[in-house]
């Protein structure tokens, strides 16, 4: 496998105060200089304000062609052709459980694997991080309480935890789940950090702030990974 996945702990697409550095890094991995970037907002129910924010920040701050793929009001007949014409797939946050169910119902899970193997960059934040792994921590079942999710796409054969420094429940729950074997060993990312995978291996960690990083989490404990400030 030679495709790229950039798993973001908590990146946001908010026009006010937007920091372009992380997405500049993602676009730099694409196969052409002016990449085609597609936003997939399934986890939010294709929320119109989320989609609009994507268009505003990418059109204003990045030299790329932008598109989005909606599945709740689907207008793209040939998903495979549409997805394989993109250079970057950017998956937004929301409900990981619902995202996976909808993707599988439409057959998008298989198309995304083909896209990854073809060299299209896959990335995303929160639920858009969780989806690529075997398992994760999520509030998909109850917004007030985190729980393990064990049937992710599994492109990356390990587990993950976003928002590692941003939500109080995340760190202790993820460490306990990995220690007990409820989730396989894996990786956690702070809100301002992202893990870059080439194939199924970590190629590096990039951050927006000096105090952010990512971690390798095993039953024995966690290890901070060396990170590069963008």
Q: What is the CA radius of gyration of the chain?
A: 16
SS3 (DSSP) at 23: helix
Q: Which residues are catalytic?
A: 126, 163
What would the two tokens of residue 67 be? 């598109």
- Say if residues 174 and 149 touch (Cβ distance below 8 Å): no
Q: How far apart are CA 125 and CA 25, in angstroms?
A: 14
**Residue 76, number of CB atoms within 10 A of its CB:** 15
- Say if residues 184 and 175 touch (Cβ distance below 8 Å): no
Spatial strand order of the sheet with 65-69 comes to: 65-69, 36-40, 88-91, 121-125, 4-8, 193-198, 201-207, 228-229
Query: Parallel, antiparallel, or unpaired: how do β-strands 4-8 and 121-125 relate?
Result: parallel
């Amino acid at each position: 496998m030679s495709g790229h996945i950039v798993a973001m702990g908590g990146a946001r697409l908010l026009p006010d105060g937007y920091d372009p550095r992380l997405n500049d890094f993602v676009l730099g991995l694409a196969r052409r200089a002016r990449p085609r970037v597609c936003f997939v907002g399934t986890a939010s129910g294709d929320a119109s304000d989320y989609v609009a924010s994507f268009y505003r920040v990418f059109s204003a701050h990045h030299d790329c062609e932008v598109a989005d793929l909606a599945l709740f009001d689907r207008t793209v007949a040939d998903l495979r052709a549409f997805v394989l014409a993109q250079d970057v797939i950017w998956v937004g946050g929301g409900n990981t459980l619902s995202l996976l169910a909808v993707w599988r119902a439409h057959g998008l899970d298989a198309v995304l694997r083909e896209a990854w193997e073809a060299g299209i960059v896959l990335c995303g934040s929160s639920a858009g991080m969780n989806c690529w792994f075997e398992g994760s921590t999520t509030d998909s079942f109850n917004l007030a309480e985190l729980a393990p999710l064990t049937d992710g796409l599994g492109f990356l054969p390990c587990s993950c935890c976003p928002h590692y420094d941003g939500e109080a429940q995340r760190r202790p729950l993820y460490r306990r789940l990995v220690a007990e074997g409820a989730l396989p060993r894996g990786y956690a990312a702070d809100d301002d950090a992202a893990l870059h995978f080439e194939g199924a291996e970590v190629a590096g960690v990039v951050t927006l702030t000096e105090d952010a990083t990512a971690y390798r989490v095993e039953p024995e404990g966690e290890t901070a990974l060396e990170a590069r400030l963008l």
